[in-house]
Amino acid sequence: MSRHLLDISGCQTSELEGLIERASALAAGASCACRQGTVANLFFEPSTRTRVSFEMAARRVGLQVVNIDQSGSSTSKGESLADTGRTLSAMGVAAIVLRHAENHAPAQLAAALEGTPTRVVNAGDGQHAHPSQALLDAVTLHRAGFDDWSRMRIAIVGDIRHSRVARSDVALFERLGVAEIRLAGPDAFLPDTGEMPAARRFCDIDQALDGVDAVICLRIQRERIESTGYPDGDSFQRQWGLTEARAAKLAPHARILHPGPVNRDVEISASLVDSPQSLILEQVRAGIHARTAVFEWLIDAAG
Ligand code: CP
C-alpha cells in the first residue's frame, strides 16, 4: 500500500516519533537534501498557516508548488475530486496536499490514486483530522522542553466536538504516552460519549486547568456548526475562555497553545496570545519544520 499522511491512526508510533524527531532537528538547524517533483496544494477551505507552511516546506526540500483553490479548479465545473486527483497525478504531481470540508475526503482521494506514485497529505478534513497540526503541536511542546510525555498533563479547552485538531492531538498524545489528556468545554462542544475514551472530560474549566503543563485553546468552529444553539462570544469567554485570571493560576512552567486562527478575547484573552507563556507563534514556526519532515518521509518512500 502507498504511503500517505491521512490521519494519526494510519501511522506507526515509530513513524510519528521519527517525524517529531526529524522536525525538531530541522528546527534546530539540520539541513535537508533536495528532492525533485511537484506538490499540488489543493485547498478547498480557507487557510493561512497550513497552506503557506506546506508551500514553504515543499520549496525547502526542493519541490515545485502549484496552488489550486476550489473556485479555480475544475471541480467547480462538476469534475469529481477523484478525477481532479487522477489528472494531477497524470501530470506527474508527486504529492497532493488537500484541505477539504468533508470528513475523509483525503482518504477517498488516496483510494482513487492507488497504484499511482502520487502521495496524499491531509491538511484538514471536516472535523475528522489534521495530522500535521498534531505533529507540529508535539514538536512545539518538545522544543519548549517537555521531553517526557509520560509525565505530561495536557488540557484541550473549547469546541472539541467540531475540531479536527483536537481529534488528531488526542490521537497523537495517546500514542506518545502522554500521562493525562483532559477535555473541557460546554456539553454541546464535547465529543460523543465513547469517542476519545483515553481523555478525561471536565465540565469545569478551572478544574481542567488545575496542574496542567500545557493548555490548548480552541475557537468555536462556526463553519462546521449547523445549529444556532452555541454560546455567543461573551458568554463563551466568561465560562470557557482562558482569561488572565485563569492563566494566573497555571503553574509557572505551563504553556499556552492554540492552532489558530485565534479569536482574541473569545476563547483566549488577547494579552495571553502575546504573553511569555504563549507558544502560539512557536507553533507556526514548528509547522514549517513538521511539514518539511512530512515531505521527506513521503517523497523518500516513493523513491
Ligand atoms: N491551524 C490551522 O489549520 O490554521 P489555518 O486554517 O490558517 O491553516
Ligand 1 lined by 76 (C-beta under 6 Å): no
Cell triple for 202? 471536565
Closest CA to 5 of 96, 122, 104: 122
Average pLDDT over residues 248-271: 97
Ligand 1 lined by 158 (C-beta under 6 Å): no
Cis peptide before 261 (omega within 30 of 0): yes
Test site for ligand 1: of 42, 50, 257, most ligand atoms within 8 A of the Cβ: 50
What percentage of residues in the chain have a pLDDT greater than 70?
Answer: 98
pTM: 0.96
Lowest mean pLDDT of 109-118, 232-241, 255-264, name the range.
232-241
Q: For residue 217, how far is its CA from the centre of ligand 1 (angstroms)?
A: 14
The residue nearest atom 5 of ligand 1, judged by CA position, is: 47
- The model's confidence at residue 1, banded by pLDDT at 50, 70 and 90, is low
* pLDDT one-digit tens code per residue, 10-20: 999 999 999 99
CB 121 within 8 A of CB 294: yes
* pLDDT one-digit tens code per residue, 168-217: 999 999 999 999 999 999 998 999 989 999 999 999 999 999 999 999 99
pLDDT of residue 126: 97
Q: For residue 93, how far is its CA from the centre of ligand 1 (angstroms)?
A: 24
Q: For residue 294, how far is its CA from the centre of ligand 1 (angstroms)?
A: 17
CB 254 within 8 A of CB 145: no
3-state secondary structure of 72: helix
Q: For residue 262, how far is its CA from the centre of ligand 1 (angstroms)?
A: 10
Looking only at the bridges linking them, the beta strands covering 119-125 and 153-157 are unpaired
Q: For residue 48, how far is its CA from the centre of ligand 1 (angstroms)?
A: 6
The residue nearest atom 3 of ligand 1, judged by CA position, is: 50
pLDDT of residue 2: 73
